[in-house]
Chain A
Amino acid sequence: MRTKDSVEIAGATDPGIVRKNNEDNFAVDPDLGLLIVADGMGGHNSGEVASDLAAKTIVDFARKMLGGDKNIVPEGGTRGLSVRGAQLEYFVKTANTMIYEKGRAFPKDAGMGTTVVAAIVDAKGLTVAHVGDSRLYLWRKGELSQLTEDHSLVGEQVKRGQISADQAARSNLQNILTRALGAEAEVVVDVADHPLLPGDLVLLVSDGVNKMVTDAEIAAIVASEREPSRVVDALIARSRAGGGVDNITVVAARVPGGEGGSGVGGLVRRLLGR
């Protein structure tokens, strides 16, 4: 799939090896450049319900407000955000309200919740909004950086410098979130804008990936595969091989260009490519 300005996008989800049900959901909309990964939680099947509702609500509202030539800017919201940031924050907050109210209305869904990481990408930049511990990574020139901060207990401890990232990766408290959609009537959404350069790869993952695969391994996989769909498949396969104890979801988007750079191969490919 491609967006209007040729950003190639792909996504897939896999229940993993241990769990029978898949509480993760993802959505991609090439027309809007919208990418979403949500990792649900809650008894019975309500984890799926929550993550599905999050993905659907965000896509729905994005199509209503950004589809075609529309560009509706919501009122209110956090001050100082870019237009796209304000829109994305609004979509995520709306999803929170939907999940929270559904949890209250149906006893079987009480207490359900979900993480969400949603991004709007084009060839020049990305806007990301997230709640919970699903992550957005940016791979640029061989280097992988995590652009979201996990809203988890260990994430907060790392941020305060109380434990190292290594200790966090081994902690048995990894599954405790400090923020989630559907937990409270109001939610604080982290929103950020990042510019993109040719050749960049944007990666959205649920914790079934980053618990099983180290950042270094992720970087190696991204470096070895050009096509986003291949990156997605390779990361899912690697997460399963690493144990697959949780549901695995990956969405990837590659900004066109930048391949090979000055290399002869890159030049030839550019001449023949398009």
Chain B
Amino acid sequence: MPKLLLKFNAAVIKEIPWDKDAITVGRKPDNDIVIDNPAISGHHCKLVKQGAGFFVEDLESTNGTFLNEKRVKTSGLKHHDVVGVAKHALVFVDDNPPPVPAAEAAAPAGDATMVLTPQKQAELAAASTAASKPEGPQKAGWLRILKGAVDATVEVELKGMSTYIGKSDRVQIQIKGSGLFGSAPEVAASIHRKPEGFVLVAVADGYPVVNGNKVSGSTLLKEGDIIDCGATTMQFELRG
């Protein structure tokens, strides 16, 4: 069932199910939605359901009825339209919006930027994940440190967009250097989460070694890949 959210400033005060053909809004107690505020007319406006369509109609109110900040006499209502009456607002929530046009309708007139409410995001996310089943959520990437760990850490989840590997104490995964002096680049490699998967980028060209091959540029990591950086050996894993 569609519903209306009665808001005052930013706060939602009441949720009203749209369970009849016409809902009246006004200051007087015979209205369906009574808003006791002197700026609201006795019978301020009416919300009407006709067939599959929803409309708002101003009842010659003194201070006017606004749809998305424009004063209207009558107008159709779309999902997430905001009906303004004085300082209150009624947000129309259509739980069964037409599938694709809903997203189109969300694009505001002109090119003004807008913010999506968390609630609507959830709806869109649900709709879009339903639409593209084969994708599924991306698995989480982990590095398990097999040899040459610097501290007690054995496993690191590749949580951020970018994870860095190197000798610097400012990177997420610290490594030990190799050779006589144990030198290693401050930053040897980085792993980036991208739509195609986890990509290892050689920051120091040729220093990181994946499955025995030196990496220059970048390489897409596969489950089980062994990464050598200096004297530290790690294994890439996908979980989730």
Identify which of residues 129-167 in chain B touch chain A, using a CB-to-CB cut-off of 8 Å.
129, 131-132, 135, 137-138, 160-162, 164, 166
A220 vs B132: C-alpha distance in the bound complex, in angstroms?
36
Question: Given A159-B195, A175-B112, A179-B115 in contact, is the A195-B186 Cβ separation under 8 Å?
Answer: yes
In the complex, whether B220 has a CB less than 8 A from a CB of chain A is no
In the complex, whether B179 has a CB less than 8 A from a CB of chain A is no
Min CB gap B116→A, angstroms: 5
Which residues of B are found within 8 Å of A180, using beta-carbon distances? Answer: 115
Which residues of B are found within 8 Å of A145, using beta-carbon distances? Answer: 192
Identify which of residues 73-109 in chain A touch chain B, using a CB-to-CB cut-off of 8 Å.
82, 100, 103-104, 107
In the complex, whether B103 has a CB less than 8 A from a CB of chain A is yes
Which residues of B are found within 8 Å of A65, using beta-carbon distances? Answer: none
A147 vs B194: C-alpha distance in the bound complex, in angstroms?
11
Identify which of residues 76-92 in chain B touch chain A, using a CB-to-CB cut-off of 8 Å.
87
Min CB gap B134→A, angstroms: 10
Which residues of B are found within 8 Å of A159, using beta-carbon distances? Answer: 195
A236 vs B128: C-alpha distance in the bound complex, in angstroms?
36
In the complex, whether A71 has a CB less than 8 A from a CB of chain B is no
Question: Given A161-B138, A175-B114 in contact, is the A110-B195 Cβ separation under 8 Å?
Answer: no
The answer to whether B129 and A41 have CB atoms under 8 Å apart is: no
The answer to whether B195 and A178 have CB atoms under 8 Å apart is: no
Which secondary structure dominates where chain B touches chain A?
Answer: loop
Total number of residue pairs linking A and B with CB closer than 8 Å: 100
Report how many residues on chain A are interfacial, defined by Cβ distance under 8 Å: 46
A177 vs B187: C-alpha distance in the bound complex, in angstroms?
34
In the complex, whether A153 has a CB less than 8 A from a CB of chain B is yes
Question: Given A149-B161, A175-B113, A177-B116 in contact, is the A197-B187 Cβ separation under 8 Å?
Answer: yes
Question: Residue of A at shortest CB range from B117?
Answer: A183
The answer to whether B106 and A147 have CB atoms under 8 Å apart is: no
- Of the candidates B113, B114, B135, B187, the one having the most CB atoms from chain A within 10 angstroms of its own CB is B113
Question: Residue of A at shortest CB range from B185?
Answer: A197
The answer to whether B115 and A113 have CB atoms under 8 Å apart is: yes
Question: Residue of A at shortest CB range from B82?
Answer: A111
Which residues of B are found within 8 Å of A43, using beta-carbon distances? Answer: 69
The answer to whether B186 and A176 have CB atoms under 8 Å apart is: no
Which residues of B are found within 8 Å of A173, using beta-carbon distances? Answer: 103, 106-107
The answer to whether B116 and A153 have CB atoms under 8 Å apart is: yes
Question: Given A41-B114, A159-B195, A177-B116 in contact, is the A195-B171 Cβ separation under 8 Å?
Answer: yes
Which residues of B are found within 8 Å of A176, using beta-carbon distances? Answer: 106-107, 113-116
- Of the candidates A110, A156, A159, A178, the one having the most CB atoms from chain B within 10 angstroms of its own CB is A178
The answer to whether B115 and A177 have CB atoms under 8 Å apart is: yes
In the complex, whether A52 has a CB less than 8 A from a CB of chain B is no
The answer to whether A245 and B111 have CB atoms under 8 Å apart is: yes
Which residues of B are found within 8 Å of A179, using beta-carbon distances? Answer: 115
The answer to whether B162 and A157 have CB atoms under 8 Å apart is: no
The answer to whether A153 and B161 have CB atoms under 8 Å apart is: no
Which residues of B are found within 8 Å of A175, using beta-carbon distances? Answer: 107-108, 111-114
In the complex, whether B121 has a CB less than 8 A from a CB of chain A is yes
Contact code string A211-247 (vs B, CB < 8 Å = 1, else 0): 0000000000000000000000000000000000110
Question: Residue of A at shortest CB range from B205?
Answer: A141
Which residues of A are found within 8 Å of B161, using beta-carbon distances? Answer: 147-149, 192
In the complex, whether B1 has a CB less than 8 A from a CB of chain A is no
The answer to whether B87 and A107 have CB atoms under 8 Å apart is: yes
Min CB gap A72→B, angstroms: 20
The answer to whether B116 and A161 have CB atoms under 8 Å apart is: no
Which residues of A are found within 8 Å of B104, using beta-carbon distances? Answer: 172
Question: Residue of B at shortest CB range from A160?
Answer: B135
The answer to whether B112 and A160 have CB atoms under 8 Å apart is: no
Min CB gap B173→A, angstroms: 12
Question: Residue of A at shortest CB range from B135?
Answer: A161
Identify which of residues 88-125 in chain B touch chain A, using a CB-to-CB cut-off of 8 Å.
103-104, 106-108, 111-116, 118, 121, 124-125
In the complex, whether B50 has a CB less than 8 A from a CB of chain A is no
In the complex, whether A39 has a CB less than 8 A from a CB of chain B is yes
The answer to whether B137 and A160 have CB atoms under 8 Å apart is: yes
For the complex of A and B, 4 pairs with smallest distance between CB atoms: A41-B113, A195-B187, A180-B115, A175-B113
Known: A103-B10, A165-B195. 6 other contacts (CB 8 A): A41-B112, A43-B69, A148-B161, A149-B161, A160-B137, A193-B172
Can you offer 18 A-B residue contacts whose CB atoms are under 8 A? A104-B9, A110-B10, A113-B115, A125-B168, A153-B124, A160-B129, A162-B132, A172-B107, A173-B106, A176-B116, A177-B114, A178-B116, A180-B115, A192-B160, A193-B172, A194-B162, A197-B203, A207-B113
Q: Which residues of A contact B (CB under 8 A)?
A: 39, 41, 43, 82, 100, 103-104, 107, 110-111, 113, 124-125, 140, 145, 147-149, 153, 156-162, 164-165, 172-173, 175-180, 183-184, 192-195, 197, 207, 245-246
